[in-house]
Amino acid sequence: MARTWLALPYARTAAFQVVIGLSREGRARWGRFPALLGDDIFMAAMVPPESRRLVPEVVAVSRPPPGFRAWVRVRARWRRGERELLRLGLPRPRPPGQHASLLARFADPRTLPGAVLFAAARVLGDLLGRLPAREPVSWTPDRSG
C-alpha cells in the first residue's frame, strides 16, 4: 500500500512528509491558525503550489501506517480534515493525474495487489470518515503495528 501511495502524484508533489516550514510571506496569507485536524491540507489550500519550495538538503523520515486498519484510520482522519476545509470554504487538494495513476497501477500485475489494498483502505476510510467521530479526532502516533 505504501508503494502505491508514494507512486501517486499527490504523494510525490503535494503531500507534506512530516516537516512543513513557512516563510513570513506564506504565514501572512491568513490570520489566526484555525484548530483543524487537516492542518497540512489547510496550509496547502492557503499556499499555492507555485509558491512552495522543496528543500532537498533537508531530509525527514516518515513511516507509513503499519497495516491495513491503520491505513483505513489515516484515510478517515484525512476525510474529516477535508470536510473541515470545505466548511471554511477552502478547496480540497486535487492533484492532476491522481486517479489515472492509480488506475495504471491496477493495470499492472506487479502493482495490482498494492493498488487493490490501497483503494480498499481508501474506500473504507472515506466511509468511516463520514461518520461522526466517537471521540475527539487528533493526529497521534499510530502504535497499532
Does residue 40 sit within a domain?
Answer: yes
Q: What is the pLDDT of residues 25-51, one digit of tens each?
A: 888 989 988 888 888 888 888 888 788
- 137 occurs within a structural domain: no
**Residue 145 belongs to a domain:** no
Average pLDDT value for residue range 135-144: 54
In a domain, 142, yes or no: no
Count of domains for the chain = 1
- Domain assignment present for 33: yes
Cβ partners under 8 Å of residue 81, min gap 6: 36, 37, 38, 39, 41, 42
Per-residue pLDDT at 134: 66
Task: Write down how long the chain is.
Answer: 145
- pLDDT of amino acid 18: 60
Q: Which domain covers residue 28, as residue numbers?
A: 2-130
Q: Is the pLDDT reported for residue 56 higher than 80? A: no
Q: What is the pLDDT of residues 69-128, one digit of tens each?
A: 999 999 998 899 888 899 999 988 788 899 999 999 999 999 999 999 999 999 999 999
* Residues 125, 76 contacting (CB under 8 angstroms): yes
Distance CA 129, CA 59 (A): 31
pLDDT tens for 14-30 read 676 667 788 888 889 89
The per-residue pLDDT for 48 is 81
| Angle between helix 98-107 and helix 112-130 axes, rounded to 10 deg | 140
In a domain, 21, yes or no: yes
Cα–Cα nearest to 41, from 85, 96, 104, 3: 85
Residue 43 resides in a domain: yes
Position 137 confidence tier, pLDDT thresholds 50, 70, 90: low
